[in-house]
């Protein structure tokens, strides 16, 4: 005869009682805890997917420095290529200059005017405290 998990290997009532205390019978608490954990996992997965979908969209403004040059030791020039799906809205981009030792030596807020072209190149200059070795775009956002 097969034994259940609360039956001892012997038929002694003391062994059976000891095993029954060690392995209590089925309670509601186990399935309730599993259900709560499952609900939390589903909620966390939903939040993760929603956040991933929101952050995977194309940004409203993309910008790239296509060229930079030294005008004077206190001034750097740059060409900024801006791509906007909605070119009718103006944008503001932050342009920064770095020295050879990677220290930031200047920055500027560049206003990109509204236009009828999705891609627009803006040429500008940037004041620096020392000679710049590199110019980069820190970010852009639409205005209004």
Instruction: Note the pLDDT tens digit of each residue in 66-125.
Output: 999 999 999 999 999 999 988 899 999 999 999 999 999 999 999 999 999 999 999 999
Write the Ramachandran bin of 18: left for phi over 0, alpha for psi from -120 to 50, otherwise beta.
alpha
pLDDT at 14: 85
Residue 31, φ and ψ in degrees, nearest 5: -65, -30
> Which CATH entry fits the domain spanning 62-142: 1.20.120, 1.10.10, 2.60.40, 3.40.1800?
2.60.40
Q: What's residue 30's pLDDT?
A: 79
Neighbours of 95 (CB within 10 A): 25
Residue 62 pLDDT grade (very low, low, confident, very high; cuts 50, 70, 90): very high
Please report which confidence band the pLDDT of residue 31 belongs to, taking 50, 70 and 90 as the band edges: confident
**pLDDT digit string, tens, across residues 8-18:** 567 788 887 88
Q: Could you give the count of Cα atoms lying within 13 Å of 126 in the half-sphere of its Cβ?
A: 35
Strand runs labelled E in the chain? 62-72, 75-83, 91-98, 104-112, 119-127, 134-142
Give the C-alpha separation, 58 to 141, whole Å: 13
Where do the domains of the chain lie? 13-55, 62-142
């Amino acid at each position: 005869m097969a034994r259940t998990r609360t039956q001892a290997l012997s038929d002694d009532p003391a062994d059976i009682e000891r095993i029954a205390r060690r392995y209590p019978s089925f309670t509601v608490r186990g399935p309730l805890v599993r259900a709560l954990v499952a609900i939390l996992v589903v909620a966390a997965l939903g939040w993760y997917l929603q956040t991933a979908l929101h952050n995977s969209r194309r940004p409203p403004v993309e910008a790239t420095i296509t060229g930079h040059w030294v005008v004077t030791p206190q001034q750097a020039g740059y060409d900024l290529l801006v791509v906007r799906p909605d070119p009718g809205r103006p944008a503001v981009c932050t342009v920064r200059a770095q020295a050879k030792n990677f220290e930031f030596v200047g920055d500027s807020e560049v206003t990109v005017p509204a236009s009828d072209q999705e891609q627009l190149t803006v040429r500008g200059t940037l004041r620096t405290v020392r000679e710049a070795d590199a110019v980069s775009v820190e970010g852009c956002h639409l205005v209004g």
